[in-house]
Amino acid sequence: MEQESLNKTWFIDIDGTIVKSRNDEQLDEAIGSMRDKSHLSEEPIKKSLEFIQSIPVNDTIVLTTARDSRHEEHTLKMLNHFKIRYDRILFDLRAGARILINDIKPAGIAGNSEPLKMAYAINVKRNEGIPIEALP
């Protein structure tokens, strides 16, 4: 068994990666003026939507965001409206770097002949989307 055959967990940021970047104040303004239609003010990044659709269905998608949890209802409506697939969402994260630490699978643990690196990082330019070639 090699890396490609293992189900993966994807940690993907929302603002600036899946949709055009907005801060909490801009979200508050949209919610205040548009009420229950505020999710329509979000601007998805087409390249990222295509990327997410290319993720195998058996993989897990965890969305991450520095958005305050008070914007959860708005954000869930937006994700549903744009048919953005996810399994979990983490709100209230810090705006700083996100660091993923994972162990290396020793040879033989998952039918692999060589040790497998189990952590990756992909940095994308804000509001430009996730290129399909970013798939590991």
Could you tell me whether strands 9-13 and 88-90 are parallel, antiparallel, or unpaired per DSSP bridges? unpaired
Residue 122 belongs to a domain with what CATH number?
3.40.50
Torsion angle, CA of 135/17/60/1, rounded to 10 degrees?
A: 10
Q: Could you list the residue range(s) of the whole structural domain that residue 45 is in?
A: 3-134
What is each CA distance from 54 to 22, 49, 59, 94, 134, in whole angstroms?
25, 9, 11, 28, 11
Question: What is the domain count for the chain?
Answer: 1
- What's the whole-number average pLDDT of the chain? 93
Summarised one tens digit per residue, pLDDT across range 58-77 is 999 999 999 999 999 999 99
- Res 2 pLDDT > 80: no
Tokens 């430009």, residue located: 128
- What pLDDT is attached to residue 1? 45
- What pLDDT is attached to residue 111? 83
